[in-house]
Amino acid sequence: MDIIEAIRGRASTRAFLDTPVSRETIEAVLEAARWAPSGGNTQPWQVAVVAGDLKQQIGDRMTEAFRSGDHGKADYQYYARRFPEPYRTRRFVCGMALYDALGIERADKEGRAAQWEKNYHGFDAPVELYFFVDKTLEQGSWVDCGMFIQNVMLAARGFDLETCPQAALAEYPDTVREALGLSQEKKLICGLALGYPEREAPVNNYRTERAEVEEFTKWFGV
């Protein structure tokens, strides 16, 4: 797949086939992704690949917590507490596009909650990847991990796989660390659903808009 096509065609996938993804294929994706840049070549990313019963158990525990009113406590503040424009409108339009694709009305709180709960099982993808970084590292290393995660998503497309990066899977980091036997020194960045897409599913066929280059770029001496 052409690299520009891989970038432009990538989208968050929320309906997957139950086709298993082999360990060899996942290793090949990570083999490509590992060439991401990092400050001083520190390579701070750490990955946990989770599937099968353990994946189900983690998702069940998160769903149970969500239904009880416990909305978790992530290791960091992902979203701004208040969004100024244009970010507020972009986020609103993004959410509405998702629910419109699913046929869920804005007033349907139960339907929205049911859709949100699907996050915790990675939208039934056969595999979830969890990304961690050492507690002792600073923000630059988190930036490095972001570049690595993008590499994972693009490399996956080279194997006919699709992904969905999920901050929701980082809402209950203690649940994940306990299930995987990891210490508090490992900070959970996010999760990533990985699998073969159900390409005809309506939820996989809407697209969010992107700002034109002129909206976010200033030119100096060029």
Rg of the chain over Cα atoms, rounded to whole angstroms, equals 18
Mean pLDDT within 10-31: 98
Q: Give this prediction's pTM.
A: 0.96
- CATH architecture for the domain at 3-79+118-202: 3-Layer(aba) Sandwich (3.40)
Residue 17, pLDDT above cutoff 90: yes
Q: What is the pLDDT of residues 131-175, one digit of tens each?
A: 999 999 999 999 999 999 999 999 999 999 999 999 999 999 999
Per-residue pLDDT, 191:
98
Rounded to an integer, what distance in angstroms lies between the CA atom of residue 62 and that of residue 68?
10
Nearest to 207 by CA among 134, 98, 114, 113: 98
- Structure tokens belonging to residue 219: 């030119």
> Identity (one letter) of the amino acid at 141?
S
Q: What is the pLDDT of residues 49-89, one digit of tens each?
A: 999 999 999 999 999 999 999 999 999 999 999 999 999 99
Rounded to an integer, what distance in angstroms lies between the CA atom of residue 127 and that of residue 121?
9
Partnered with residue 190 across adjacent β-strands are 131
Task: Give the residue extent of every domain in the chain.
Answer: 3-79+118-202
Per-residue pLDDT, 106:
87
